[in-house]
Homo-oligomer: A and B are copies of this chain.
Amino acid sequence: MGFAEPMRAHLPQHISQLQTPCLIVDTSKMTRNVARATGRLTGSDTKLRPHLKTVKSVDAISFTFSGRKIPATVSTLKEASEFGSAGYRDLLYAVAVSPQKLQQVHALRRTGVDLKIVVDSISAAHAVANSAAAEADPLPVLIELDVDGHRSGIGREDAGLLVQIGTILNNSAAELAGVITHAGESYGTVTDDGRAQAALIEQQVSVELAQTLRGANLPCPIVSIGSTPTLFSNAPVDGVTEIRAGVYMFFDLVQAGIGVCTEDDIALSVLATVIGHQQHKNWIITDAGWMALSTDRGTSSQQRDQGYGVVCDETGRPFEDLIVVRANQEHGIIARRPGTELAEIPDLPLGTRLRILPNHACATAAQHASYNVVDTGGNITAVWPRFGGW
């Protein structure tokens, strides 16, 4: 719980006692989402390496995986440090390392965390090689691949560069541990076929470039791919040793918009209170502005623009076509989705409590210091602190 026992008596016991805005988690949905991901890889040799960057809470991850110290992925050294201290020892820092962070990496590894890192250039490989030698640390390193032009990594047109980087690492005090990629463009797919195609390319290019390394007599034990959209496609995973995904634990409106989940699967919401109305405009004003929801407008480029979030009642049942159309820092403006009929705006008096489903769970969760875990009866069964920073 993250609270000392003497404070417990003062803590809210029911959703109706929570001050707003705050984060709500529905663990029945979270459990279902996690089981679905596990099911996707049942019977294959490919392992899941969940990404902790969405949830960023040791208590939440401990609940989700029943206390097992799963192999996991992190996006910051802060996450590596927090989860490392909590006993998670097999961690992959999936963002290309800057030379300035290597001392922190070695320090974390000296605490017993098997932290693996990522590079995608000759200069980074040299920096890592030098640092591994100076620290006598057989640091495992993955080379980042670019399968879809999304951001970082070595593309198939640069196979020669890939072998050069692999050779530098393999001849160093560090350990060439494999390849890693992220099919980030899969977030922009609009059909299941498009998503399956993105997943297929992710798998094929990764396996092909792993073979390029092996063909040059270089080791490539790990082939790490993944994103939530490609995890839930039906593309083959042959030759892939692990899949990384994080947002699937909560899901969100962006994922619903590309067909990876339904709105009913979304386990994360922001509890808000009605603080006013503009009757002339059919606006309902709440105390959940962008500070609580984030400024993420991930659905703005999707077929169904969800504004700053979908509006539900306090139990989590969505109102038809009611969304947060505008967000100031501490004000959310709720109205009917543009283009829909205005006649049926529900009567939501001052003080009414609502839940807002987020566009992007990673961004919305990051605006809060803890999760309130609420059961279907509205009872608060746990409070999970979360952390931010780097």
| Interface residue from B98, B120, B275, B351 paired with A351 (Cβ < 8 Å) | B98
By the criterion CB–CB under 8 Å, are A285 and B331 in contact?
no
State whether the Cβ of A50 lies closer than 8 Å to any Cβ in chain B.
Answer: no
By the criterion CB–CB under 8 Å, are B98 and A326 in contact?
no
Query: Which residues of B have CB within 8 Å of A388?
Result: 291, 367, 369
Cα A75 to Cα B290 in complex, Å, equals 12
Query: Which residues of B have CB within 8 Å of A98?
Result: 20, 273-275, 287, 350-351
How many copies, total? Answer: 2
State whether the Cβ of A21 lies closer than 8 Å to any Cβ in chain B.
Answer: yes
Chain A, interface SS category: loop
Output the least CB separation between A247 and chain B (Å). Answer: 10
Cα A335 to Cα B35 in complex, Å, equals 41
State whether the Cβ of A310 lies closer than 8 Å to any Cβ in chain B.
Answer: no
Chain A 73-110 near chain B by CB (<8 Å), digits 1 or 0:
00110000000000000000001111111001000000
By size class, the interface of chain A is: 35 or more
Output the least CB separation between A227 and chain B (Å). Answer: 11
Q: Which of A301-315 contact B (CB under 8 A)?
A: none
> Which of chain B's residues has its CB closest to A158's CB?
B280
> Which of chain B's residues has its CB closest to A286's CB?
B98
Chain A residues near B (Cβ < 8 Å)? 19-22, 53, 75-76, 95-101, 104, 120-121, 123-124, 127, 144, 146, 149, 151-152, 155, 157, 184, 273-278, 280-281, 283, 285, 287, 290-292, 294-297, 326, 328-331, 333, 349-351, 360, 362-363, 366-369, 388-390
A20-B98, A295-B296 are known; give 11 further A-B pairs, CB within 8 A: A19-B101, A95-B287, A121-B350, A123-B349, A151-B285, A295-B297, A295-B360, A295-B363, A297-B297, A329-B362, A369-B388
